[in-house]
Chain A
Amino acid sequence: MSEIADRRSGLAGTARHDRRVVFRPDFPVLAHMILPGARVLDIGCGEGDLLHFLQRERSIDGRGMELSQDGVNASVSRGLSVVQGDADTDLIDYPNGAFDVVILSQSLQVLHYPRLVLEQMLRIGSQAIVSFPNFGYWRVRWDLLLRGRMPLTSDLPVPWYDTVNIHLCTILDFMELCEDMNLNIEQGLTLDRKGNAKTIGKASGRANLLGEQGVFLLEKR
């Protein structure tokens, strides 16, 4: 997939670069957060790989929203209910409490209005799952602190002039936003590239240094 197509897909970092890729190591971690049969909306669902996985593993009643038409068309061809839409503007069309879980996987950092989208997610869903590349990860800090260069890591593989990421944050930043928005963190995990999950305990500073990705299950207080 080209850089341009990548941008259209609205996915960055661990974006699917190939139609054959149908599994990401974080899928089982996300699946564990979702009850069987749940009504799930996946925002930025790409070609529907996660929805497909969750339907198989959790028998969810899944819907998707995706910015790129290629992703939408591929999803619908697979029999998934997916609409073309922009998370920044189109979530407003969904009614309150329409879903049990709303997922924003690896797309938080490409949104124009991440805070508003989070609010919308917890308006239309009882729970929200958000995953994002952690800008506090030590390799990121290393690039900036010692090399004086914009970070390039497996989660942030695109150079600064081409990246779609506009709202990067660290795990601590995100937790502060949740506090500010009065959201309960039901679960907070860090993930490495192989999908190994670690609970973010009291030592959130340590998780912020060592976690490549953050995954959060959120509820309104």
Chain B
Amino acid sequence: MTIAKKAADGSPKVPEDGASAGGEPPALTPTEHVFAITEDQPLTLDSGGALAPVTIAYQTLGELNRDRSNAILVCHALTGDQYLAGKNPATGRPGWWETMVGPGKTLDTNRYFVICSNVLGGCMGTTGPKDIDPSTSEPFGLNFPVITIADMVRAQKRLIDSLSIEQLFCVTGGSMGGMQVLQWAANYPEAVYVAAPIATAARHSAQNIGFHEVGRQAIMADPDWHGGNYYAHKVVPKRGLAVARMAAHITYLSEAALQNKFDRNLQDRAEVSFGFDADFQVESYLRHQGSTFVDRFDANSYLYITRAMDYFDMAAEYGGVLANAFRTTSTEFCIVSFTSDWLYPTAENKAIVRALNAAAARVSFVEVESDKGHDAFLLDEPEMFTTLGGFLQAAAIRRGLA
């Protein structure tokens, strides 16, 4: 087991494991860690191969209690990272789940030890296609193995084992994070006390695969992609990746959200230009989303992670019957969907609920009224906080944490 520590850019203090920096409130201080899977025990992959060495970059908040029973694993979405709260050193912006995680918040870092790791195939410190392939001493590029959601979770399990945590109090996450939550609950039921998959699905729909394929083709159509070997050419397929992000971003919102935010309003002009500038505010907004994304995300990671999501079909792993994935589970579930989410709509979330009912699992399900689309799970949604908070509080009492 190797747990190294590295300082985040711009982070002056790196507290020791389990301890806090002097003078700082402990829960406010995310600490950054790296875990390494070494060649003697490579990570087995669904594709048949194995991968080693693998580096897993992760962040922790709060303190692990003496019984090691208060750990919450947060699984991030497609373009998320381990920086769920506190300043993201790559972007300088707040963490992606600042609304949910922190002292006194729903995932209360004064009570829980919150862990979030960058997924396998990612580009924020965990091994992915931009990293060096030891067999060639060149970046992997397309030589990186195709990975699955189960592979990501297998890597996370190694990390959790290395922390000597036998059972996570909770595994939670939205979107692709929710897929990992389901995979955790199915593959390691004894290691998950409660599970809270949010705005997710047990399988990727044809529509979702379709959207992902548009994004991948945009990247691969960019001449700067160079068959995935752009690292050697010292370029980045910025235009393709930006288009992929723009198309995907629309799916994260809702028609109502776009309408309310932009309507047909023009950008810094009184009338249309009779050209192809970003006349409309919505165009300008999407271009901005695309251009900022390329600075923080690796195009090949985008290909690999979207592929992992496309391959996700939990029922298929269990004889076509989703309920079989949860047949013996004692994990308690709370599933949350949003009314305006058309990427992972309520129907997909309810399919999970139905399967859990059929497996006689303890399950709660709430659909939160929101016009913010899929991204609602990242935003200030008080109903989500109160229901998840109530669910966690009841579980904490049973687990002896409250």
A residues within 8 Å of B by Cβ? 63, 69, 72-73, 75-85, 90, 93-95, 98
Contact (Cβ within 8 A) B386 A83:
no
B46 interface hit (Cβ, 8 Å)? no
Q: How far is the CB of A198 from chain B (nearest CB, A)?
A: 36
Cα A98 to Cα B362 with chains together (Å): 11
Contacting pair A80 B364 (CB below 8 A): yes
Shortest C-beta distance, A88 to chain B (Å), equals: 15
On whether the beta carbons of A73 and B387 are closer than 8 Å, the reply is yes
- On chain A, the residues within 8 Å of B108 by CB distance are none
Contact of B366 among A72, A78, A90 (CB under 8 A): A72
Q: A83 and B364: CB pair below 8 A? A: yes
Which residues 354-370 of B have a CB within 8 angstroms of A?
354, 357-360, 362-369
Among all A-B residue pairs, the 4 with the closest Cβ atoms: A79-B394, A77-B390, A83-B365, A93-B354
Q: Residue B386 contacts which of A63, A77, A80, A84 (CB distance < 8 angstroms)?
A: A77
- Chain B residues with CB under 8 Å of A78's CB are 390, 394
Report which of B360, B367, B391, B395 forms a contact with A84, defined as CB distance below 8 A.
B367
CB distance from A29 to the nearest CB of B (A): 27
A76 CA to B106 CA in the complex, in Å? 14
- Check: B334 CB closer than 8 A to any chain A CB: yes
User: What are 17 A-B contacts with C-beta separation under 8 Å?
Assistant: A69-B367, A72-B367, A73-B387, A76-B364, A76-B391, A77-B389, A77-B390, A80-B364, A81-B332, A81-B363, A83-B363, A84-B350, A90-B354, A93-B358, A94-B358, A95-B359, A98-B360
Q: How far is the CA of A78 from the CA of B357 in the complex (A)?
A: 20
With the chains together, A140 CA to B332 CA distance in Å? 45
Residues B387 and A84 in contact, CB atoms below 8 Å apart: no
The interface residues of chain A lying within 8 Å CB-to-CB of B161 are none
Query: Does the CB pair B365–A84 fall under 8 Å?
Result: yes
Partner of B390, one of A76, A83, A94, A98: A76
Instruction: State the majority secondary structure of interface residues on B.
Output: helix
Q: Chain B contacts of A80 at CB under 8 A?
A: 364, 394
* Chain B 370-402 near chain A by CB (<8 Å), digits 1 or 0: 000000000000010011011101110100000
Output the residue of B358, B364, B393 with the most chain A CB within 10 A: B364
Q: Of B334, B357, B397, which is within 8 A of A76 by CB?
A: B334
The answer, yes or no, to whether B56 is at the interface (CB within 8 Å) is: no
Q: Known: A93-B358, A98-B360. Contact between A79 and B393, CB under 8 A? A: yes
Give complex CA distance A84, B397 in Å: 24
Q: Are A72 and B365 in contact (CB under 8 A)?
A: yes
How many Å lie between the Cα of A76 and that of B353 in the bound state?
A: 14
A70 to chain B: closest CB distance in Å? 9
Most buried by A among B358, B365, B383, B389: B365
CB contact between B360 and one of A75, A79, A82, A94 (< 8 Å): that residue: A94
Q: Is the CB of B354 within 8 A of A69?
A: no
**Quick check: B364 and A82 within 8 Å, CB to CB?**
yes
Closest CB-CB distance, A64 to chain B, in whole Å? Answer: 9
Nearest chain A CB to B370 CB, angstrom units: 12
> What distance in Å separates the Cβ of B237 from its nearest Cβ neighbour in chain A?
43
Residues of A within 8 Å of B390, CB to CB, are: 76-79
How many angstroms between the C-alpha atoms of A58 and B369 in the bound complex? Answer: 34
Q: Is the CB of A73 within 8 A of B362?
A: no
Chain A residues contacting B391 (CB-CB under 8 Å) are 76-77, 79
**Contact flag A77-B358 (CB < 8 Å), given A69-B367, A83-B365, A84-B365:** no
Known interface pairs A80-B364, A81-B364; A73-B386 also in contact (CB < 8 Å): yes
> Do B366 and A95 touch (CB < 8 A)?
no
Contact A77 B387 (CB under 8 A): yes
Complex: chain A residue closest to B337, CB-CB:
A84
Expressed in whole angstroms, the minimum distance between the Cβ of A172 and any Cβ of chain B is 35
B247 to chain A, nearest CB (A): 31
**B366 contacts which chain A residues (CB < 8 A)?**
69, 72-73, 76, 84
Interface residues of B in 214-240 (CB under 8 A from A): none
Contact across chains for B358 and A69 when beta carbons are under 8 A apart? no
Q: A72-B366, A93-B354 are in contact. List 6 more A-B contacts (CB 8 A).
A: A72-B364, A72-B367, A73-B368, A79-B390, A84-B366, A94-B358
* A72 to B368 Cα, complex, angstroms: 10
CA distance A57 to B367 in the complex (A): 30
A189 to B385, CA, bound (A): 42
Q: Which residue of A lies closest to B391 (CB)?
A: A76
